[in-house]
Structure 1
Amino acid sequence: MTGGIPRAPLLLALAGLLPFLWGLLTLVSDPVYAFAYETLGGRFVGPYVQLAYGTVILAFMSGVLWGFATRAPERQAPVCYALSVIPALWAFFMAGGGPVSAGMNLVFGYLGLLALDWQFWRWRLAPDWWMRLRLPMTLAVVACLLAGTLL
């Protein structure tokens, strides 16, 4: 374990950063962009890979929160379930449009997700190590999305 974070979630979370970093790399390197565009196609370059993957992961994180909601006391559970679907709904309704608005809306979605992560952790529904994983992951994702959106 690294800093109390179990190895498997840490490694999988770090691997989950790769599409965000790849999208950023294709934006700052013309040769990498050209290689990726020619071999993988336009969907896997620049902000497109970041936006598509960012939308999927934001929805996935709703499922994680739903799992935490299953641990809530019966009278608190309805609130937890309702909160858990917010990131998926946000991704569905707000990640469309052009790349700038979609990117900024994903940034706001991930920041909102961090607030929900903290709340579920504070309610002791998430593991003790949860925020030690989620805070740096969120900062990395937001930095990549901001750079991809603003470049």
Structure 2
Amino acid sequence: MIGIPKAPLALGLAGLIPFVWGALTYLSPALSGWGIEVLGGRFVGPYVQLFYGSVILSFMSGVLWGFATKAQGRLAQVCYALSVLPALWVFFMTGGGPTSAGMNLIFGFAGLLLLDIAFSVWGLTPGWWLRLRVGLTAVVILCLSVGVIW
């Protein structure tokens, strides 16, 4: 994570907290019980991960849209179309039970990383963008995997 500005790095890492917390509450019944008692049931396990994951994947559509504003001509059209895919993925693919929703979020975040790579190759992102996104995406997928496996 060398060369990433402090603010995006700190905010990106802070954004992992709900994913990590959700995974920890899957793995620890005691922690889950405490979380339910203190924070409420929607802030533990699958509830926090699936809701927050849906919000973040949709948010990332907006980030890609912002990058698309740097493109010109046909590439701009392609980038705008690609930028809405993560939000549409969330809308259509996260219904159903927690296991299928979790799997679909994993696929959504993996697909988002592919879009991040494309936008980076096209020169639309900051130079540090992929270093940040690869690390964050790895943690998100690992945490969501806990929910899918348990």
Asked if TM exceeds 0.5, the reply is yes
2:123 match: secondary structure: coil
Q: CA RMSD in A?
A: 0.8
The alignment-based identity, stated in percent, is: 63
Alignment partners' CA distance in 1, 2:3 and 2:70: 21
The AA in structure 2 aligned to 1:93 is F
The AA in structure 2 aligned to 1:149 is V
Counterpart for residue 88 of structure 2: 89
Does the aligned pair in 1 maintain the 2:26–2:146 contact within 8 Å?
no
Alignment partners' CA distance in 1, 2:47 and 2:116: 26
Alignment partners' CA distance in 2, 1:75 and 1:136: 31
Aligned positions, number = 150
TM-score, reference length from structure 1: 0.97
The AA in structure 1 aligned to 2:85 is I
Moved over 4 A (4+): none
- Unmatched runs of 5 consecutive residues or more in structure 1: none
Counterpart for residue 55 of structure 1: 54
Counterpart for residue 112 of structure 2: 113
Q: Quote how far apart the aligned CAs of 1:75 are.
A: 2.8
1:23 matched to 2:36: no
Alignment partners' CA distance in 2, 1:39 and 1:140: 25
TM-score, reference length from structure 2: 0.98
Alignment partners' CA distance in 2, 1:47 and 1:109: 16
Counterpart for residue 34 of structure 1: 33
2:96 match: secondary structure: coil
Alignment partners' CA distance in 1, 2:147 and 2:12: 20
- Unmatched runs of 5 consecutive residues or more in structure 2: none
Q: Quote how far apart the aligned CAs of 1:28 are.
A: 1.1
Q: Quote how far apart the aligned CAs of 1:112 are.
A: 0.3
Q: Quote how far apart the aligned CAs of 1:74 are.
A: 2.6
